[in-house]
Amino acid sequence: MRYFKLVLLFLFITTTSIAQKLMGFTDAMAVKQVDWEKQFDGQLSAKNQDTWMQFLTSHPHHIGSPQGKINADYMAGLFKSWGFQTELAEYNVLFPTPKTRLLELLGSKPYKAKLEESILKEDKTSGQKAEQLPSYNAYSADGDVTAELVFVNRGIPADYDELERMGVSVKGKIVIAKYGGSWRGIKPKVAAEHGAIGCIIYSDPEDDGYAQGDVYPEGAFRPKDGVQRGSVMDMPVYPGDPLTPGVGATKDAKRLNRNEAITLMKIPVLPISYEDALPLLQSLKGPVVPAAWRGGLPITYHAGPSLDKVHLKLQFNWDIKTLYNVIAKLPGSELPDEWIIRGNHHDGWVNGAADPISGMVAEMDEARAIGELVKKGFKLKRTLVYCAWDGEEQGLLGSTEWAEDHQEELRKKAVAYVNTDGNSRGFIGAAGSHTLEPFFNEIANDVIDPQTGVSIKERKYASVFVSADKAGRTKLMGNKNIKLGALGAGSDWSGFLKFLGIASLNLGFGGEGSGGEYHSIYDSYDHFVKFKDPGFQYGVALSKTAGRVMMRMANAEVLPIDVNSMYKTVNEYVTELKTLLETSRTETEQENKMIQDKLYDLAKDPKKGIQTPKTKEAVPFLNFSGLENAMMQLKTSTEEFQKLYGNSTQLSADKQKELNEILFKVERSLINEKGLPRRSWYKHQIYAPGYYTGYGVKTLPGIREAIEERNWKEAQENIEIVSRTMEAYTSQVQQAINLLIKKPF
């Protein structure tokens, strides 16, 4: 008995004596912060998330819909009740909706596409037909075209190279492309560049249907008539309202004419189900496609063209609609002009339960819990700004317009932007500015996975390790650091990160809630609670994770930013680019030699009309020395800074404020006001959505895409631009170092 007490005493001592270290906090402050975090966890409620999701998804809630406005008001009311200063921020944006949708196969076996998703008795909102947006691609052109059909696989540039080898042209044709392999807007864009006059995009069951698993409602996957709606705005050029690039789409904003808006698609484009795609694909003649192009339909996939023609007629109402962002602030007590911004969109394509309400209710619960803590005396140094964005689905409209509208203020005040979107059962996913990587890892260590009882970091490591190949496993062995992904253009961080240079983070769980509901009428409450996150355990885990990010960032004495992590990551990108250039050179040499040696001619089947590829210009050597020198200086500076960072909490309050301002503005030095080639809106020099991949991020995009496009002059120019960007970053870091060296504590 006595022994037992001693053990307890010992445990007590060891527990309290290992006070948790938090980046940017003194030990004393860290103890308090961790204690508040425990109370925060206790406040979170799966039941709230469930209730709110039921309300918010009860009717279709796309931009301009009655339920959209109801939801905005509902959330604004809640934020207010939790102690937030709340407003609706309205913008007026171009939002086309379909007037006519007609797709038919003409000829001997005519077929008229159904373009309609079935009502299911197992899904109670699937029957809200009058309120649903029909299946369509927003920002498609109006058009009435009739032509032969050609199958273009994913519809990316490489597919057209392959079609050329097969001797198939899309000029004057309508193309049909599979979803996947690129952001959907790339497909009609590249098709139009190759002379196609219309574009159909369908969900192949191999990627998004019965091949993946049992279909809804029996299983989670896309049924035969399920359609993926989605925007085909040319977002890699600029996101947001097509008529007001760079400025907020306020009532009085100067607007472009529609024909000046270069992000509108130039040809008509329509998404369809695999049931509707089947007769179209069956009509194709011409060569059998390469194995990698095949889908899961029970047919021989041919490239086309079809003998029979396809008729596609699309007309839209080109309305200006009002969108409603909810902006809710909890002002900081010490540094009210340093903002930590949190956002998730609230609009859905239809009832949008997983996308976006699963993330939205986690954000709301997090806001409510912080509000409760504040009522109990929790002090926030910095201001928290909680946002619910409208119009994300059509092209990040709400967040982009708000960021553009408040650009001056945000440049001054925004410390970081933390985004979430769809969420489901599984493993933490995180991407963002690499200065935030050690900070995020600290948090991932502190949040417990609801299914296994280990930290979400441990579980993520297990998942990454098990799915890695042998080489990957050897590399991962013992290194549990979660590497942040680079951010492309998938959600609302674009305006903050890419346009304004605000350090951003995107968070979400997933991997065990896969399904085929995406952008269909089946992304419903019924589907969500059956397949995505039954019991909202991962909704709560997301609140815990993002809530810690917000609270620690709000209260850190010195902002938890690690500039050396940024250096290390960018240095990897530089190495990648040098390798890319080398590989491109050796491959070009080899390929040209193969053509000259007639190996393609000899290897091909002379009975098939296969074209030999054309020789390509040799790949020159580029001068990386400026960039390499800049990276060397950056390495020295960032390493020195991180050595000194540990002492930074001992700085005087004034010096700390000065240091913090350098730290959160250091991301701004990655911005080049001229922007990237051919898309000046994208100003960040490290991350951009791929011009020809869309969602898919391109790192060091100015250099990388020039190399990929074999534009050597532009590649060299962009190497210089990035070098200067790195020098500017180094000089910011140097200022921070000077502050710390000259410290009067």
Query: DSSP 3-state assignment of 238?
Result: coil
Site membership for its own copies, residue 589 (CB under 8 A): no
Min CB(470)–its own copies separation in Å: 7
Q: Which stretch binds its own copies (CB under 8 A): 147-155, 471-479, 498-506, 705-713?
A: 471-479
Q: Using alpha carbons only, give the angle 38, 537, 354 rounded to the nearest 5 degrees.
A: 125
Q: Which stretch binds its own copies (CB under 8 A): 105-113, 381-389, 404-412, 600-608?
A: 600-608
Question: Distance between CA 60 and CA 524 in Å, rounded?
Answer: 10
Query: DSSP 3-state assignment of 98?
Result: strand
Q: Which stretch binds its own copies (CB under 8 A): 87-95, 238-246, 469-477, 734-742?
A: 469-477
Q: Are 662 and 735 in contact (CB under 8 A)?
A: yes
Site membership for its own copies, residue 279 (CB under 8 A): no
Min CB(186)–its own copies separation in Å: 25
Site membership for its own copies, residue 465 (CB under 8 A): yes
Site membership for its own copies, residue 205 (CB under 8 A): yes
Site membership for its own copies, residue 462 (CB under 8 A): yes
When binding is defined by CB under 8 A, the residue of 454, 579, 625, 731 that contacts its own copies is 454
Q: Which stretch binds its own copies (CB under 8 A): 32-40, 53-61, 596-604, 720-728?
A: 596-604
Here's the x/- map for its own copies, 541-580, by CB under 8 A: it reads as: ----------------------------------------
Site membership for its own copies, residue 598 (CB under 8 A): yes
Here's the x/- map for its own copies, 479-508, by CB under 8 A: it reads as: ------------------------------
Site membership for its own copies, residue 452 (CB under 8 A): yes
Site membership for its own copies, residue 139 (CB under 8 A): no
Site membership for its own copies, residue 216 (CB under 8 A): no
Per-residue HEC secondary structure of 125-167 comes to CCCCCCCCCCCCEECCCCEEEEEEEEECCCCCHHHHHHHHHHC
Q: Which stretch binds its own copies (CB under 8 A): 68-76, 82-90, 460-468, 544-552?
A: 460-468
Site membership for its own copies, residue 535 (CB under 8 A): no
DSSP annotation of 448 reads B
Which residue in 653, 94, 135, 508 sits closest to 319, CA to CA?
A: 94
In terms of CB distance, is 18 or 602 closer to its own copies? 602
Q: Are 732 and 666 in contact (CB under 8 A)?
A: yes
Which residue in 184, 265, 217 sits closest to 519, CA to CA?
A: 184
Q: Which stretch binds its own copies (CB under 8 A): 93-101, 293-301, 567-575, 680-688?
A: 293-301
DSSP letters for 200-226:
EEE--HHHHSTTTSPBTTTSSBPPTT-
Min CB(463)–its own copies separation in Å: 4
Question: Distance between CA 93 and CA 96 in Å, rounded?
Answer: 10
Q: Where are the beta strands (DSSP E) in 192-290?
A: 198-202, 230-231, 269-272
When binding is defined by CB under 8 A, the residue of 79, 139, 210, 440 that contacts its own copies is 210
Question: Distance between CA 208 and CA 398 in Å, rounded?
Answer: 29
Dihedral pair phi/psi, residue 619, rounded to 5°: -85, 120
In terms of CB distance, is 132 or 424 closer to its own copies? 424
Residue type, 497: L
Min CB(465)–its own copies separation in Å: 5
Site membership for its own copies, residue 161 (CB under 8 A): no
Site membership for its own copies, residue 157 (CB under 8 A): no
In terms of CB distance, is 83 or 534 closer to its own copies? 534
Q: Which stretch binds its own copies (CB under 8 A): 210-218, 352-360, 389-397, 572-580?
A: 210-218
Question: Distance between CA 395 and CA 351 in Å, rounded?
Answer: 18
Q: Are 411 and 386 in contact (CB under 8 A)?
A: no
b/e map 310-342, b = 16+ CB within 10 Å:
bbbbbebeeeebbbbbbbbbbebeebeebbbbb
In terms of CB distance, is 317 or 451 closer to its own copies? 451
Token reading at 21 = 């270290």
In terms of CB distance, is 34 or 462 closer to its own copies? 462
List Cα–Cα distances, 378 to 214, 311, 384, in angstroms: 48, 63, 13
Site membership for its own copies, residue 463 (CB under 8 A): yes
Residue carrying the six token digits 């019965």: 210
In terms of CB distance, is 122 or 587 closer to its own copies? 587
Q: Is 38 exposed, middle or buried (0-12, 13-18, 19+ CB in 10 A)?
A: exposed
In terms of CB distance, is 598 or 713 closer to its own copies? 598
b/e map 55-64, b = 16+ CB within 10 Å:
bbbbbbbbbb
Q: Are 490 and 690 in contact (CB under 8 A)?
A: no
Question: Distance between CA 727 and CA 730 in Å, rounded?
Answer: 5
Q: Are 203 and 274 in contact (CB under 8 A)?
A: yes
Q: Which stretch binds its own copies (CB under 8 A): 47-55, 81-89, 467-475, 495-503?
A: 467-475
Residue 277 contacts by C-beta under 8 Å, 6 or more apart in sequence?
176, 200, 202, 204, 297
Site membership for its own copies, residue 643 (CB under 8 A): no
Site membership for its own copies, residue 211 (CB under 8 A): yes
Handedness of CA 582, 588, 593, 594 (dihedral sign): positive
Site membership for its own copies, residue 318 (CB under 8 A): no
Backbone region of residue 150 per phi and psi (left: phi > 0; alpha: psi in -120 to 50; beta: other values) = beta
Here's the x/- map for its own copies, 221-240, by CB under 8 A: it reads as: x-------------------
Min CB(15)–its own copies separation in Å: 24
Dihedral pair phi/psi, residue 109, rounded to 5°: -120, 70
When binding is defined by CB under 8 A, the residue of 53, 56, 150, 215 that contacts its own copies is 215
In terms of CB distance, is 213 or 336 closer to its own copies? 213
When binding is defined by CB under 8 A, the residue of 27, 144, 409, 601 that contacts its own copies is 601
In terms of CB distance, is 308 or 667 closer to its own copies? 308
Q: Which stretch binds its own copies (CB under 8 A): 598-606, 634-642, 665-673, 687-695?
A: 598-606
Largest CA distance in the chain: 93
Question: Distance between CA 423 and CA 511 in Å, rounded?
Answer: 10
Site membership for its own copies, residue 429 (CB under 8 A): no
Min CB(183)–its own copies separation in Å: 23
When binding is defined by CB under 8 A, the residue of 408, 605, 654, 673 that contacts its own copies is 605
Min CB(119)–its own copies separation in Å: 22
Here's the x/- map for its own copies, 294-313, by CB under 8 A: it reads as: x-xxxxxx------------
Number of chain positions touching its own copies (CB under 8 A):
47
DSSP annotation of 350 reads S
When binding is defined by CB under 8 A, the residue of 8, 11, 603, 632 that contacts its own copies is 603
Which residues form the interface with its own copies (CB under 8 A)? 205, 210-215, 219, 221, 288, 294, 296-301, 425-426, 451-452, 454, 458-459, 461-463, 465-467, 470, 473-474, 477, 512, 587, 590, 594, 598-603, 605-607
